[in-house]
Each structure stands twice: as C-alpha cells, then as structure tokens.
Structure 1
Amino acid sequence: MGHDAHAPYQVVAADIRRRLEAGEWSAGAKLPSRAQLARDYGVGTNVLQKAQERLIAEGLLEGRAGSGTYAAQPRERRRMIRSRHRERRGTSPFRADMSDLGRAASWEANSQARTPAPEGIGHRLGINPGDACVRTDYEFLADGHPVQLATSWEPMSITADTPILLPEMGPLAGQGVVERMRSIGIHIKSALEIPRPGRATPEQANLLGINTGDQVMLIERTYYDDSGRPVETADIVVPADRWEIAYEFSVEAP
C-alpha cells in the first residue's frame, strides 16, 4: 500500500507552502511558534514538526536552534575554484578565495598535538598508524556564515620543535600549509585532491547550518613536498547546495 497523499502532516505542509509562496512570510521572517501553528491547524505538535521538517528539506524553511523556524533566505550557489594558483598568493588560500568573491574570510580552529594517526591517515601520510600527529579541526566562515569544514593532520616528525607545530599559533598562524612548510625549508610541490559525494552527519550539519543527510562534497587532500613525501592531509566538507567545486588546470604549450 502506498503512502497516503493526504496524511495530516502533508496537508499542513501543503498549506504552509502555499502561504510562503503567497508572501505571507517574507524571506527571513520568523514563523509563529510550533505550538501556535499546531493549534491553528488543529493538529498535534508532532504533526506540525513533521510538516516543518519536510519544508526544511525542500529548502523553504530553516530551523535555528533555540530560536525557532524561519522562512528560508534564497540560497545562492557559488563556485569554489581549486587550482595550483590558489597556493601561490602568499596568504591563506581560503582567505584569497573569499576575497575574490568579495567576502570576508575567517575561521575557528582547534589543534591537538600528539594525536595518534588513525590507520587511514597513516596510510595517506606514509607513516605508521599511531604515530604522533597534530590534528586541527577547522570551521571556515565567509561574512560570518559557515562555508566549509576541514580536519587536517600533520606528522609531528616533520613539525615538532619548530615554530609551526600548531597551525594557528606562532609567526605564520593563518598562512596556510604551503607558506608554513616553506618557512622550515620544506617546499610543497604538488597536491592530490579526491572529491566524493556524501551526506552530512549530524555534527557536520550542525556546524554548517544544514540538515542531517543533506548532500555535501567530501574532498580528501594531501600535500607532497619536492621529494614526493606527504607532509599534510585533510578531509574537507563543503555543502553541495551552496557551493559547486570547479578545478582549474594549466595547459602547457607543446
């Protein structure tokens, strides 16, 4: 037996959708409380919640923890270009990328030294599982809004006893991996990025302001020095409904 097309939550969702399309609530406007709307529609709050969740999944509403439910702002999908040139600008690649788009870049970071490398990270870095690394978790923001997440791993065998041990502290804080490694005589020659589609975990969704299960782009990135040694690897998470990833390549003349 198929799903009932006239289930109570679907009826409520259809009417709220109609009211949104009619402009009863403009973009960014706060809707009445869930309890109030449930009374207006003569349904339980669980039915109203399910209706709102459906509209959030459609991108028509957005929930804000501790604040309520709002008519969603139109989502603008921007292009994030990744190329070798982004590493040659003498500053953080993310800051330069956002500057190109006219946005102010910032980020929050938390580093933990002496973190044992998980097996997969050890393989990517060419070290043994359990070897000491510095793990740094990032939340990147543009104009104060979350843009992407990243978890970076650097072997302490490379950075221990140097001023760049902690990526966001010291004289080159915030300068990016390429500039930091150059300061200790390590020249990054190449980077390998492997993009994969994925779905946001509850933790990722909470940090990015999206819904659990929303589509994201997962990018596995590893930097290599001029001897081919991996010196840093990171897992990057980008919400797919807000950003498209474009790769730019140089074409050498014959």
Structure 2
Amino acid sequence: MEERALHRRIADALVRRIQQGEWAAGEQIPSRIDLASEYGVHEQTVRLAITLLRRDGVLEGEKRRRLYVAYPPAVRTLTDPDGDWPYGCEVIDAGTRRTSPELADRLRIPAGATARWETLECWDPGGRSAMLVTSWWRGWRREHASAAFEVGTVRLDARQAQAFRLPMDTVALIVQRTRLDAGGLPVEVADLVLPADRWRLRV
C-alpha cells in the first residue's frame, strides 16, 4: 500500500510541474532513471507513476521510449472522409503486394492479384499526426464518381502508435472507404485510422 501511495504522490508531483510550466506540451520529460534518482525511489515506482499519467492522457509515448507531455486533445469532426485534407500529408510508405482474400473482396479482384498501395500521414494544424490513410488500387489510379464508408474500431499497431505517439494497442477509429466508378465498381479502397481521443465522426 505504501508503494502504491508513493507512486501516486510522484504522479501528482509531475502533474504540478507540468502545470507550472516546467515542461511544455510536446516536450520530453526526464527519463525514468533520472526521475527515480531525483525522487530517491526505485525505477519501478516511477514506472507506476508514468503508467497512471499515460492512462490519464497527461503523458504520451511508447513503452521503453522517452515520454512527452501530451497536447490537450483537439477534437475534430470528420464529415467528409473523401475530401481533400487541408493541413498537409506525406507519403510514408508505398509499393505493390499480392492481395489477401479480404482485400481482394473489397477491390472485387481475384485473391492474390497484385495491387498498388501507399500510406499517407496527415497532420493537424500544429504539425501532429492526425490520421493515417492506407490506400490500395489495381493498375493506375482512376477518377471515381462516388464513395462509400464503413466505420469501426481498431487497435493501433506499433507503427501507427509511434506516428500518433500513443501506446500500442490503443483503440482508434477506422473508416473503410471505397471509391466507386460510375458503374458502382471499386476503383480504390482505403483505411483511414484516426486516434479516438482526437476525432468525432459524422459520415
């Protein structure tokens, strides 16, 4: 019980230091080893305190990596998953691959057929990663006449978690977008992954 009380006191002390401006949003805090030395406690005690602060959204970052003071969530509403993104995006990966049965079904092509793909990282106005968009298509990219959407949830994998500076396995929103030609056939499909604490969906 004493250990539990101690790590909570350290968590409270770190929150006070953040509120007093010692570390700004987006700034790294000292390492767990340095904090343990500063407070004269075992490193595990600091780990417990940091776990509380990550859970409460005060700190963000992956386990065993440096942690940052979290920005207050800027909750945005996504109303047009097929619209242009206004704040800038960058292609972070691309290539070709053989389609899985599930992806082939979405594209309405034979399983194992080769499709092109790319992943875009889209930023919010402050330059933080706001959305990851992975698209697949066959041949060349064609104009589409309409789009359809399905909304669900997904747990972040390691790469997604790193981009969003969130713990791995955090629940995120996913919009599966299908772009259709004038005849209603898919020309491109995409998964839009959005941190659930930063977005509302209205599609």
Asked if Structure 1 and Structure 2 have the same fold, meaning a TM-score greater than 0.5 normalized by the shorter chain, the answer is yes
Give the aligned partner of residue 89 of structure 1. none
**Corresponding residue SS for 2:7:** helix
Q: Deviations over 1:65-100 (max 9, x none)?
A: 99844433322212222167x3xxxxxx12xxx2xx
* Matching of residue 190 in structure 1 with residue 146 in structure 2: yes
Q: Greater RCO between the two (CA within 8 Å, min separation 6)?
A: 2
Out of 2, 10, 13, the position equivalent to 1:12 is 10
**Corresponding residue SS for 2:80:** strand
Number of aligned residues: 200
* Matching of residue 204 in structure 1 with residue 160 in structure 2: yes
**Corresponding residue SS for 2:12:** helix
Q: Residues 139 and 148 of structure 1 are in contact (CA less than 8 Å); yes or no, is this contact kept in structure 2? A: yes
Out of 129, 132, 141, the position equivalent to 2:114 is 132
Alignment identity in percent?
A: 26
User: Deviation at 1:132?
Assistant: 1.2
Q: Residues 25 and 71 of structure 1 are in contact (CA less than 8 Å); yes or no, is this contact kept in structure 2? A: no
Q: Residues 224 and 231 of structure 1 are in contact (CA less than 8 Å); yes or no, is this contact kept in structure 2? A: yes
* Residue ranges of structure 1 left out of the alignment (5+ in a row): 87-92, 99-103, 165-180, 183-187, 248-254
Relative to structure 2, which stretch is displaced further, 234-243 or 49-58? 49-58
TM-score normalised by L of structure 2 = 0.83
Question: What is the root-mean-square deviation in Å for CA atoms of aligned residues?
Answer: 2.7
Q: Deviations over 1:205-246 (max 9, x none)?
A: 101222223331111111111112111111110111112222
User: Deviation at 1:64?
Assistant: 8.0
Out of 24, 28, 32, the position equivalent to 1:27 is 24
Give the aligned partner of residue 52 of structure 1. 50
Structure 2: distance between partners of 1:39 and 1:83: 48
Q: Residues 3 and 45 of structure 2 are in contact (CA less than 8 Å); yes or no, is this contact kept in structure 1? A: no
User: Deviation at 1:46?
Assistant: 2.6
Structure 2 counterparts to residues 77-226 of structure 1, below 5 A = 77-82=75-80, 86=83, 93-94=84-85, 98=86, 104-113=87-96, 115-143=97-125, 144-156=127-139, 159=140, 164=141, 181-182=142-143, 188-226=144-182
Q: Residues 91 and 118 of structure 2 are in contact (CA less than 8 Å); yes or no, is this contact kept in structure 1? A: no
**Corresponding residue SS for 1:152:** strand
User: Deviation at 1:35?
Assistant: 2.3
Task: Please tell me the residue identity of whatever aligns with 2:193.
Answer: V
Structure 1 pair 133–33 and aligned structure 2 pair: CA distance change class (3 A) = closer
Structure 2: distance between partners of 1:121 and 1:136: 14
Q: Deviations over 1:171-197 (max 9, x none)?
A: xxxxxxxxxx23xxxxx2321110102
Q: Residues 61 and 167 of structure 2 are in contact (CA less than 8 Å); yes or no, is this contact kept in structure 1? A: no
Larger Rg: 1
Task: Please tell me the residue identity of whatever aligns with 2:117.
Answer: R
